[in-house]
Structures are given as C-alpha cells and as structure tokens.
Structure 1
Amino acid sequence: MPRTETPAEAPAGPGPAPQGRRRRQRKVVVPLVLTAAITGVAVLGVTRPWERPASGTGKPPVEYGTVAVQRGSLSSGIQIAGTLGYDEPTPVVAAGRGTVTALPSVGTVIEPGGTLYEADGRSVVLMRGSRPLWRDLGPGAGDGPDVEQLKRNLVDLGHADGLGLAVDEKFTKGTETAVKRWQKSLGVKQTGTVALGSVVMLPQASVRVQQLGVQLGAPLGTGSVMTVSGTGLVALVRPADNQVSRFKPDGKVEVRLSDGGTVTGRVRSLIRGGSGGQGEGDGGGGAGGEQPKTTVTIALDSQRQARMTGPSSVTVTVVGDSVSGALIVPVTALLALDGGGYGVKVVDGTGTRLVQVRLGLIADAQAQISGGVEPGTQVVVPK
C-alpha cells in the first residue's frame, strides 16, 4: 500500500512521489465539453493548501487545496445559443417590367394560385416549382421542363379537370385550354399564353411574406420585390469549428424556447461556412468581414409549441453520453501515471496518499472516476 505522508514531507500537490515510489506524475490535459449537471452536495471550497517553496526562483509558490469527491450525474452534451425563425427565406425577383401597384402585408401567407403582388394593376401569381420561368409559354412554345412545371400547377389548381391533360413537357391544345381557364379565374384576358412576369415559381408549398423589398410605385427590375419564407419554424445554430462534428445527420437535439418550454428536433441540414437556410432574425455573415460559420438547420417535432413563442432566441442541446450516480472530481485532480492510467491525491489524516483510479466520462472540466475513493473523500487540486 502507498505510505502516508506527513505535511512536512507532502509534495506541493501533484508532483514527484517520495523515495520508494518512483512513479513520476504529471498533470493531464483533458478536453472540455459544455454541459454537466452535478447533483448532491455542493462543491467544497479549498480547505488546506500545500505550498511548494519558491527555491530561490523568484516565482510565486503553487498553492493547492482540496475538494470533495461528488456523487452525481454527468453529461457530455453541448449547449449552443441559436435562433428560432421561419424556414427557407427566398428573395422574389421580378422577371418582367412595370410598376408595383399592390403589395401584401408582412406575415401574409400565400398559397399556390394566390397573388404575390401586382404590377401595372395585374396580378403576379404564385405557383410551385423549382425553375424560374424565363419565356412566354403558349401555343408554339418548344418542349421543356418549364412547360411540365406549368402543367403540373394547372392540374393541381383544378384548371385541367376533364381535359385528360398529361403532365409532360409538351404545350398542347389541352394546355392552352387550361391556361385560359386559369386566366378567366383571375379576371384577365384569356389569351392561352402565360406571359413572362405574370407567374413566380417558388419551391415551397405555401409562403409567408417575411420582408418587403420595394415600395408601392417602385419600378420592377431594381432588386427583389420581397423576401418570402416557408410557413414552418426551424431552429438555427452556428457552432464553432470544434463543435460541428457533434451534429449528425438526423441527429436528435432538444430546443429550449424563450418562454422556458422545450421541443425536440432533428438535424435537417448542415451548410459549412455558409449562411444558407437562415431564418428570420438571423443576421447572415460574420462581423468585421469574417467568414460566416457553419449553419445547422433543425426541424422541430412540434410547430404548435414553437408558434406560441414565434421568432426568438433559443438554446439548442445536442444529446450526448450521460451517467448518473457517478463519482465526480475536477479534471485538475487527475494525475497521469508512468506506465499508464490515472490517479488522484487523497487526503489521509494529516498526510496524503496516491490512489489509482479508473477514468470514465469527462465533461465540463469534470471527470467520472471509480476505484479507491468514496463520496466525500477529499482530493488535492490546484487552487
């Protein structure tokens, strides 16, 4: 068994062992993680310092104290501040020319087939699609995926009922008839041709007006008319480079809302070094010309709970490993031993002794240990 040291011969905390014990010890540097919950007795303050003489070096002595071994829980999850915002903000760019004669209010939700805004008194209609329209579509238009996209909308909006319209890339006579029906529903001239600028294709099923980019009377073609988003809320975080690996595809997270409630979610996307997918209230690039950090978008499992708070600040917890009922000490109490393993310096009466321990989970500068110690045992740590 390791012999007991008196205060006179006790080393100044972790350092070379006395004669007869030639194991050299050195402090171990342990990576820190962000969250840990310790239950039970509160951490004790320093109770008995040992000081190494300055030995004429002129350096101040190193002071040591003790802390009690705790029994509690430990988690390696991380917490990161983020924002709650509406999904997929998208600028709406006008393809035609004219003057803006009507605009929706911020917060308005528009479904496919509805009017996004007016230009020269004519409705500019929202349709669903991933390709912007770049030409007039009417009789004689060449085949293309833009024709297929238009036909799919005409079918979904009910303007092709009874026509047997095939959703393909050909602009047929049936397509012309469906376009005329659509124009009649808008109260405009039934030409059978969809003029460039009369339709805006966006990928969302429905959109929410997030911000207006022009004023009434402004000419089109000077920038985006507005920014729209999806109608669902998502959580957005920008982790530091050393935290990115904690976000796994479809990985489970917990989002604490500004009202104190929590909602679960899963990692939907991770864009390295970009600001894509940012929601309302997220500022974009870094300050001072810095490159933007990685952006993680988190889909929420409950929209109802999120909508009660609306766009706001949130705290995202990435679930990690956890233990309960563990014996816990500060990582500064650990000593790396020659030959492998770790030990702690235990106060024994008026002296100290070295106890080898097994190392478990490490989080937030705390370490789980086992072997040779009990809750309440005093171990030596630097002040």
Structure 2
Amino acid sequence: MTDTVTPLDDAHGTPEAPSAPGGRRGRRTALIASAVVVVAAVAVVGALGLGGGGDEGPGAPPRAGSLVPVTKTTLTERTTVDGQLGFGTELPLPVKATGTVTWLPEQGASVERGGTLLRVNDRPVVLMYGTLPMYRDLGLTADEPDKGSGGTDAGGQGSDGGKGKSPDPSGSPAPGGAGDGGTTGGKTGTSRAPRELKGADVRQFETNLAALGYTGFTVDEKFTDGTASAVKRWQKSLGLEQTGAVGVGDVVYSAGKVRIGQAGARLGSAVGENTLAFTGTTRKVLVNASAADAAWAVRGAAVTVALPTGDSVKGQVASIGKQATAPEGGGGEGGSGGGDATIPVTVTLQDQKAVGRLESGPVTVEYVGREAKDVLSVPVSALVALAEGGHGLETEDGRFVAVKTGLFADGNVEVSGPAVREGMKVRIPE
C-alpha cells in the first residue's frame, strides 16, 4: 500500500484540502516568493536606516564586512597635477649689433656678467646685468659751440678774410649777405667742448663696469672722463679698439646669468631678432593647470615636486598666467572640447642641488589644500547612504547612526554626530 503525504497549510500547519495539482504548487511558490521579498525589504530598510527616528536606528542582524575604529586625526587635502621640469620658456636675446654672425656659443652653455654671448663682425657682444635695455651709445659727447674762440657772429669780414661768403659746415661756400662783408662771418676759431652724458643707463653700465673690476670713477648717472678711461681698459681686455665709448650693439642686458638656448641664425648669416635665444640658469617647473580648478595657484604657495628619480623637492608658486589656453583638439563653436582650458603656472625649486643633474623631464606637483585638525574620521568606504538623506555608519552590533561629513582626504572622511565617539567600531560593508 502506498503512503499518501498530505501537505501542511502554509499559514497554520493543518492539512489542506485536495486541489488541482497545478493550483496547489503555484500558491506555495507564490507564498515563498512573498517571504523572500519581505526578508529582502527588511534588509534594505536596515541598511538605509529606515525606521530610525533619532541618530541611532533599530538593531539589525550584523552583516558581513570588516570592522574599523573611529579615529581622531588630522586630515589634509592634497591634490597632484602633472608638470614639466626645465629652465623655462626660451626668449630671444635683444641683440642690437648689426652685421654678420661670426661666432655662436653652444646650446646649454652658461654666460655670466662680462661674458661673450656671440660675435658680430668679429666683435664680441657682452652680457651685463640690468633691467634697462641698451638703447643708445654711451660716452663723452660734444656740447654746443664754444663762442669767443676766434670766430665772430657779427657781419663783416670774418677771420678767414672772406668777403660776402663763408664756409658752411660741409665746406661748400655759402652765399653771403648784402655788401662786401656778408652777414655770417668766418667761424674757424670755434670749438666743441666734451659734455658728460647723463642718465639711468649710465649708472647701470657703470655698476657693471665696477663689478668687473674696472674702477677710477664714481658710480652715478654721469659718464665722465674717469668712466671713459675705465671703458678703454675694458675694451683692451676684449681686444677692441680703445675708444672710451660703448656702442649700442656692444652690450646686452639681462636680469642675471643666462643659459644659451636654440640659435635662430647660422654662422655667416645676418643678425636678426631671433639670432639667439636664452633662459635663466635655474631649473623650474611649468604646470598647465586647469583654469577651472586653479585656486591652489597662489603666488608664494608651497608645493612638493616629485622628480622622475623618485626624490622630492620643495617648490613655490612663482607666477600664474593670466591668459587661458584652449585644449588641443578642443571643439570649436558649440563643440564639447577635448578637456578644460589651462593656464600656465611656474613653480620655482628652492634647492637646485637636490634636483641633481636632471635638466628636464615630467614631474608631479603636489599641493596642500584645506586641513582639519584633531577630527574624528573613518574610511570613506564605511559611509552608507540613509533613505531620509545624508550619510550614516553601521555599528558593530548592526545599528545605523547618522553622521555629518566634513573634509575628504587620503581615502578618509571627517565625521561628527552625537552618537559618534573615538574608538567605536564601525563596519565597512562588503
């Protein structure tokens, strides 16, 4: 005899009445599915903190995940951007000499005060330090005619015996005035006395001349006989004719020692505006910072530069460009563009020796933003979103407490709230 198993009623455990096979199995499947939905809903309610009227939600069975303590620490917001190590943007030397280039230095060479930058018509063009460009010849100059030295301005016969005519400055006879004596008279007895040239450019040149060891004059704004004598000694050291005067093309000024860049001319070519480029001799970092996120770029701000060698050096923001550059390949009018517009930021390096022999290469610039001292923090991954809004933490026993978040930094987040204390364990959900 075959035993018959009577299924129990799902709700009360009593035998249920026979029914069509398909109907009984379908109802049981529906009840099981409903139970699964209810259990899942409870889990979600617990995870989202639903039903909690205060800072702490109701207890719930602990879920899987690692426990971490709430710690008190100092959080510092750090951001890194890419940069390029180098000597800065090359600029053309303001060479005012005219003629043919007869000698050029090697690219990368350093030139300091008194050194030769290049030779034009086999004459050296010398580097001096200063901010005022060379704009005129320097030397003793002629003054107005010195009257009373034998010439006359009155009419009549001049000292040369001319009657009605007298030589003009070019040596050609000039028509005289009415009568036999003329009106101008002869001036062969006149002379021109030297005059001292004055100006800030004179002081700048004299300062350099004295720094090179050529003295015998007072450093001021007057080009005197003493200055001219010192210039002759300087010219002798350069193998030049000792004239005592400095031509506008003999000197180029810069703020300090320079590093020779790329030459824009060849030997034998005429001097032009881009004959030779230069940079400073100190290494620096150029960052093309996002124009939308460049609030960190403040003149004097401290940064840390990570070198390709693995070493780090301290840096400082020296200048910030005022003109933004569109990204390469950016869309035109109405286009989405290929990224953010950028502005150039120059970072100087405080310890050049720490850079070693490296002259160029990619670097990473790290800057520090906001800082929160002695605050409670947890890993960002410990935060859970609450259904009523905001964030919360799951405690060790499965409760959920609401927290207020602050600074996010280094994978951690600042948290606060009446139910949060240092040392309490919170769960990082899997």
TM-score by length of 2: 0.64
The answer as to 2:427 corresponding to 1:377 is: yes
- Corresponding residue for residue 184 of structure 1: 236
Q: Distance in 2 between matches of 1:6 and 1:372?
A: 29
- Corresponding residue for residue 107 of structure 1: 108
After superposing the two structures, state which structure 1 stretch, 250-259 or 72-81, moved more.
72-81
Matched position secondary structure for 2:208? helix
- Corresponding residue for residue 136 of structure 2: 135
The answer as to 2:271 corresponding to 1:220 is: yes
Of the two, which has the highest radius of gyration? 2
The correspondence for 1:7, drawn from 17, 26, 40, is: 40
Q: Distance in 2 between matches of 1:144 and 1:137?
A: 10
- Cα distance change of structure 1 residues 348 and 189 upon mapping to structure 2, 3 Å threshold: closer
After superposing the two structures, state which structure 1 stretch, 316-325 or 240-249, moved more.
316-325
- Cα distance change of structure 1 residues 378 and 287 upon mapping to structure 2, 3 Å threshold: closer
Q: Distance in 1 between matches of 2:414 and 2:406?
A: 5
Q: Distance in 1 between matches of 2:49 and 2:425?
A: 26
- How many Å apart are 1:101 and its aligned residue? 0.6
Q: Distance in 2 between matches of 1:327 and 1:345?
A: 9
TM-score by length of 1: 0.71
The correspondence for 2:313, drawn from 263, 275, 295, is: 263
- Cα distance change of structure 1 residues 310 and 318 upon mapping to structure 2, 3 Å threshold: same
Q: Distance in 2 between matches of 1:234 and 1:108?
A: 17
Q: Distance in 2 between matches of 1:125 and 1:289?
A: 45
Matched position secondary structure for 1:361? strand
- How many Å apart are 1:106 and its aligned residue? 0.8
Residue identity matched to 1:354: F
> What is the percentage of aligned positions where both structures have the same residue?
34
**Structure 2: any 5+ residue segments left out of the alignment?**
1-37, 56-62, 142-195, 332-339
The answer as to 2:402 corresponding to 1:356 is: yes
- Corresponding residue for residue 149 of structure 1: 204
Deviations 1:182-213 (A, max 9, x none): 11110110111111211111111x11112222
Q: Is the 8 A contact 2:93 2:277 kept in 1?
A: yes
Residue identity matched to 2:78: G
Q: Distance in 1 between matches of 2:341 and 2:255?
A: 25
- Corresponding residue for residue 50 of structure 2: 17
Q: Is the 8 A contact 2:382 2:393 kept in 1?
A: no
Deviations 1:127-178 (A, max 9, x none): 1111221111111274222112111111111112xx1x22222221111112
- Corresponding residue for residue 197 of structure 1: 249
Q: Is the 8 A contact 1:329 1:369 kept in 2?
A: no
Residue identity matched to 1:178: A
Residue identity matched to 1:238: N
- How many Å apart are 1:304 and its aligned residue? 1.1
- Corresponding residue for residue 177 of structure 2: none
Q: Is the 8 A contact 2:290 2:341 kept in 1?
A: no
The answer as to 2:282 corresponding to 1:232 is: yes
Deviations 1:313-357 (A, max 9, x none): 11111134377994122497355967xxx43163887xx753112
Q: Distance in 2 between matches of 1:286 and 1:183?
A: 52
The correspondence for 1:287, drawn from 312, 323, 328, is: 328
Matched position secondary structure for 1:195? coil
The correspondence for 1:208, drawn from 259, 262, 268, is: 259
- Cα distance change of structure 1 residues 334 and 214 upon mapping to structure 2, 3 Å threshold: farther
- Corresponding residue for residue 301 of structure 2: 251
Residue identity matched to 2:328: A
Q: Is the 8 A contact 1:347 1:378 kept in 2?
A: no
Q: Distance in 2 between matches of 1:331 and 1:192?
A: 81
Q: Is the 8 A contact 1:84 1:311 kept in 2?
A: yes
Q: Distance in 2 between matches of 1:67 and 1:240?
A: 38
- Cα distance change of structure 1 residues 346 and 99 upon mapping to structure 2, 3 Å threshold: same
- Corresponding residue for residue 313 of structure 1: 362
- Cα distance change of structure 1 residues 308 and 362 upon mapping to structure 2, 3 Å threshold: same
- How many Å apart are 1:376 and its aligned residue? 5.3
Deviations 1:254-291 (A, max 9, x none): 1111110111122222233279xxxxxxxxx8535899
- Corresponding residue for residue 304 of structure 1: 353
- Corresponding residue for residue 167 of structure 1: 219
Q: Distance in 1 between matches of 2:132 and 2:330?
A: 32
